Amino acid sequence: MNNGLFVNLGSFFTTENEDSIALNPEDEEVLSAYEALINDFPKINATTLCAFINYKGKCGSYGGTKAFVQNRRKDRRVRVTVKVRSKRGIESFTYTRTKRLSAGARQELGCTAVRNANDPWITYYSYRLIGCEVLDAIEE
């Protein structure tokens, strides 16, 4: 029985014009159960599989924590892009930083709370991983 529902063998739903198979009612029940199951899992993007940001150790005298970016890959170097947001009094700034990390390496990004000499304000920093590219083993 063909009810018009088709599944691409390489992804999810598609039209009849692509490589697809027709589903019977039993297959549709299995597919619905599978979709319900995968919708319960948190969404993971490729960036978080490549690198991550972690916080470890105290810094400064204003309750800051050291922020690091860590390469998850043990076999390849990566290029990461980190969005940095800073807030100092009523001013706020946003910029990006790009870093290359060796396989399994981590690099310090900075402290989350800094006060410069002769400055009455504490500057607060937050870091967010917005891009990660796995580099070829040959590329420098």
pLDDT at residue 32 is higher than 50: yes
CA distances from 114 to 25, 42, 57, 103, 126 (A): 62, 34, 14, 30, 12
DSSP string, 43-86: P--HHHHHEEEEEEEEETTTTEEEEEEEE--SSS-EEEEEEEEE
Whether 51 and 111 share a structural domain: yes
The tokens for 10 are: 């390489």
Beta bridge partners of residue 107, listed in sequence order? 69
> Who wins on pLDDT, 7 or 94?
94
CA geometry: angle 9, 44, 75, nearest 5 deg: 90
CATH assignment at residue 56: 2.60.40
Domain count along the chain? 2
Beta bridge partners of residue 84, listed in sequence order? 95, 127
74-115 per-position pLDDT tens digit: 999 999 999 999 999 899 999 999 999 999 999 999 999 998
Nearest 10 degrees: CA dihedral of 21, 22, 27, 28?
120
Whether 64 and 125 share a structural domain: yes
Return the minimum-mean-pLDDT range out of 26-35, 55-64, 70-79, 128-137. Answer: 26-35
Whether 69 and 19 share a structural domain: no
- Residue numbers of the domain that contains 30: 6-39
